[in-house]
Chains A and B, each alone.
Chain A
Amino acid sequence: MAPGITSIDPSSLKGLLAEHQDICTLELTAVTGLEEVAAEECQEKLGVNCVIARGRVFIDIHVQQVPEVFKLRSIDNVNVILQMVTNFSFPDNREQCFQQLYKFAEKPDWRKGMSVWKNVFSFPEEPIQEVKALNNDYCKPRPDIDLKRMKLTSQIIDNIPEGILPQHLKKKRQPEEEQTNAEINSAVTDTTVESEEDSSEKQRVQASGPKFRISCNRTGTNHNFGSSEAARQFGGAVNEMFGWPVDLSCFELEILLYIDTEFVYVGVCLTREPLFKRNLTNFGRTNLRSTICYNMVRLAAPQPGEVIVDPLCGGATIPMEGSLTYSKVLHLGGDNFGQAVKRSRDNIDYLVKKGKSMPIDVAQWDAARLPLRNQCVDIIVSDLPFGKRIGSKGDNRVLYYNSLLEMARITRTGTGRAVLLTHDRNSMMRNIKRVHTLWKSATSRTINIGGLSAVIYILHRTALLFDPNLKIASKTHKKPSEPGEF
């Protein structure tokens, strides 16, 4: 797994140094577990230096080159980093913390970051008109508003003085003590409450420029303030310095403040919505992010003229993303659930209408009984049912076995490979063992899908010919099952 964010050395990022005015540092967020794949794509397509941290890749890039970053297929969000500090020692006193966070707004290189932002969004005017010095020490804290959404499980409740805790957190404080201790074991909590600074009354007078919000992410157990309180201080200072109006819901500019223990960085968000939403217009229940699809296809390393099949394609997210990025390969998808296949057709037709050329086709079939010739496929890339929202773990045991056998039959011996994603490791591990003569397990990677830890298995087809008796043997043992629907 990639190292945590705190291990990053800011001096290794050229774009953060004042002497490189034409180079900026971007943070590209990626699915946890697939950072290396994303970094590989950056190096290949942009030829830039990448620094990997958990869930993200930092790159140094020429300001002119920034638009090319949005063409990358493996990344979710793009932020430009303005400032990064590794030893932001937070004092024990709350007011001093606020003061530090407030004054911190003067540190970042706003002009460089904002000019990148302005170009990306084609904002009509210069966002930074005049810069006012900060007169106050800090904003008036409003714990009654800012701590309203803090959860009882938060580990910093004990650090906040009793007097200012809102009612709902106070009540349970004593009896909950034991439970909070138990929760500490479950790793360091992410209090990723996105929250806000609301405009300080007096500044409303001469507000001009982009409407902005601050989103603060805070991790760590020793802080004595909530993420929203930090956002309020930082946002108050930004508002005072540049006179930009605050708007939490209809914002044009989103500023990110990331705090992990002593590690603090400030960024500006360059993507309005995550890039993984690019392909689909008709959504199903278990659509995979396009970025994960791309990464999976990439892991299979398709060569020109090969055939990729997704036997359980659902809404065809994998074949679609594949055909948009690897156009020299035939992508074929199928599912046994009629509605899902119709949905894939809709999604494909929409993109084809927009003028995209996609070597893709879909069919309705049963993954345990594929209507394909022996050895006509080179690669299988599939997102198997997790047995959570769709199917059940009991079904999976049989379905995985039968589909692994069918996949072995249709793939070319010796060169065939499969990239399979699942959350149900038990069923998968057991069945990979059962078909070890046909599939050799090469590597696996654990990735994080919306909080579920899923695994991508990369299998290689052995040279052994498929033996139809294997299937018959399995049938006599177990009653035939319906494959899990997508």
Chain B
Amino acid sequence: MKLITHNMLTSKGIKNVKEGFPLKIQADEVKNVDIDFDREFISRMIPKLDWNALTFAAQCVGHQEDLPDTLPEGYENDDDLLKKLHHILLEVEVINGCLECPETQRKFPISNGIPNMLLNEDEV
């Protein structure tokens, strides 16, 4: 699972869960993969992301790499920041571990890089 995916995942399918976001990551195994850096892609993607969830996720997997607390102005011209974000969002992959719902603490296992977000009948 990439952190960019984490930025979109929620557990709000569970009964009585309002937001279910951001999920807490418990990473047992993390891998780096190589993805070509694409300025246009990353700078257009950033405004669509939830910045707080992103810094939270980076913290969870130990890749915080001094990300600013808020998205700085003029980020699209800051090549260093874009490259850093590219690395965190696309190249860091959680292989094993789990995701945890912030409201119910329900755990979603991640195995072989695949988060299992299926819910049981009694949870919905």
Contacts and interface: CB of A to CB of B under 8 A. Distances in A.
Size bracket, chain B contacts: 20 to 34
A425 B116 CA distance: 31
A357 B1 contact: no
A371 interface: yes
Size bracket, chain A contacts: 20 to 34
A327 interface: yes
A307 B89 CA distance: 14
A345 interface: yes
Interface string A329-363: 11010101010011001000000100001110111
B8 A327 contact: no
Interface residues of B, dominant DSSP: loop
B1 A363 contact: yes
Contacts of A357: 34-36
Given A327-B41, A328-B41, A364 B8 contact: no
Interface in B44-77: 44-45, 48, 50
B8 A373 contact: yes
Given A352-B33, A373-B21, A363 B9 contact: yes
Interface string A196-222: 000000000000000000000000000
Interface string B1-29: 11011001111110000000100000000
A328 B40 CA distance: 7
A329 B9 contact: no
A341 B8 CA distance: 18
Interface string A21-63: 0000000000000000000000000000000000000000000
A342 B114 contact: yes
A328 B114 contact: no
Contacts of A363: 1, 5, 9, 114-117
Interface string B88-124: 0010000000000000000000001111111100001
B9 A371 contact: yes
B80 interface: no
A363 B35 CA distance: 19
Nearest to B113: A345
A371 B113 contact: no
A369 B119 contact: yes
B48 A364 contact: no
Contacts of B13: 366, 369-371
A429 to B, nearest CB: 28
A257 B5 CA distance: 51
B40 A304 contact: yes
A376 interface: yes
Contacts of B90: 359
Nearest to B43: A305
18 contacts: A304-B41, A304-B44, A327-B38, A336-B118, A338-B116, A357-B35, A358-B35, A359-B35, A363-B9, A363-B115, A363-B117, A364-B116, A366-B119, A369-B13, A371-B11, A371-B12, A373-B9, A376-B48
Interface of B: 1-2, 4-5, 8-13, 21, 33-36, 38, 40-41, 43-45, 48, 50, 90, 112-119, 124
